[in-house]
Structure 1
């Protein structure tokens, strides 16, 4: 097992030092950070702005969407019934089983030492707690904890746990950004903001009707160098 990069650095810097084909060899896009001792298998597909923390193990054919966070020592497996030898005692080779992958959708976070047992999918902006073992799909925006992982709530894009909005059934609100989400049939979606309907802190709308322009939400910035 060979680490792709041995020290924390940007993907762009590593790829430039290894030649123009380095990024494409591993299916890595732009502005990714890979920690010390992390392993990325050949054939893994990684989107933009992905962070792989130290000693994360990502086995092919995993797929990581844009903005995914993979915490320290996270494991993404690729075999549902792994064996070193077959029923006759002969050592298995690469072609003796069909690899299955883990898919982690846009913006999702996998906490330190969590394990995703393939084949599973972590949905958009989902949050898997540290040490959790994921054995079934995690919904978009779901907060999953435990062994095996189970959903205990919802999180927004900022990663903060959502709270029920008073007076509006099945509507959830981010206490940090004010963003609203709607739940229907057990599925959470973002509420699309109409004109002047978004929180003033987000759009910069003033009482006079004059916009101040977009306000950067610091909660959406990645926490560099920290585990989850």
Structure 2
């Protein structure tokens, strides 16, 4: 794995693919079949399960487990101790295996705050922002600001992360958006 940093306390199983420039810090485990893109950062105590796909430029903070069935697109941010699930009805006595896993897709540039929970089977839209401690139980539109338990949309955010006003124009970077069925799209400049 040339051009990859893996701390000596971490394990990368045979069959995992890790892109150049990626850094894997203390006490991590990347399981066989996982694919991690280029220039990613995995903080302390991160687990990437078998067959998980992680895009380029993804930052996964401390104490996050990304379970099979979850896919993280490019530039996703996972805050400390955020939680992903992959089975809606788990039972220790009656394990179902990966046939029961529900797919969860986190779109490009989305950010998930510390201690937020993403219940499986939902899509978190591109450039959306899920606030700290929120519990996502439904699909998240692109650029949506989601807060609370259960998470509800409380506004819109720009690709740069700035909160948008009613005019859907960013006061920081100048991007302007318009509403579409699944969230916002940027007006071409």
With normalisation by structure 2, the TM-score equals 0.83
Is the contact between residue 123 and residue 140 of structure 1 (CA under 8 Å) also seen in structure 2?
yes
Query: What SS is found at the alignment partner of 1:189?
Result: strand
Verify: 1:131 aligned to 2:133, yes or no: yes
Rg larger in 1 or in 2? 1
Query: What SS is found at the alignment partner of 2:5?
Result: helix
Is the contact between residue 141 and residue 182 of structure 2 (CA under 8 Å) also seen in structure 1?
no
Change (3 A) 1:81 1:18: closer
Verify: 1:94 aligned to 2:88, yes or no: no
Query: What SS is found at the alignment partner of 2:171?
Result: coil
Once superposed, what is the RMSD of the aligned Cα atoms? Answer: 2.2
Using the TM superposition, give the Cα deviation of residue 31 of structure 1 relative to its aligned residue in structure 2, in angstroms. 0.7
1:177 corresponds to: 173
Query: What SS is found at the alignment partner of 1:30?
Result: coil
Runs of 5+ unmatched residues, structure 2: 19-32
Runs of 5+ unmatched residues, structure 1: 1-10, 87-91, 166-171, 194-228
2:78 corresponds to: 70
2:29 corresponds to: none
Using the TM superposition, give the Cα deviation of residue 22 of structure 1 relative to its aligned residue in structure 2, in angstroms. 3.6
Q: Kindly indicate which of the two structures has a greater share of residues assigned to strand.
A: 2
Using the TM superposition, give the Cα deviation of residue 131 of structure 1 relative to its aligned residue in structure 2, in angstroms. 0.2
Change (3 A) 1:179 1:61: same
Verify: 1:13 aligned to 2:5, yes or no: yes
Give the Cα–Cα distance (whole angstroms) in 2 for the partners of residues 154 and 93 of structure 1: 38
Change (3 A) 1:179 1:60: same
Is the contact between residue 59 and residue 101 of structure 1 (CA under 8 Å) also seen in structure 2?
no
Using the TM superposition, give the Cα deviation of residue 94 of structure 1 relative to its aligned residue in structure 2, in angstroms. 3.0
Verify: 1:146 aligned to 2:154, yes or no: no
Is the contact between residue 37 and residue 56 of structure 1 (CA under 8 Å) also seen in structure 2?
yes
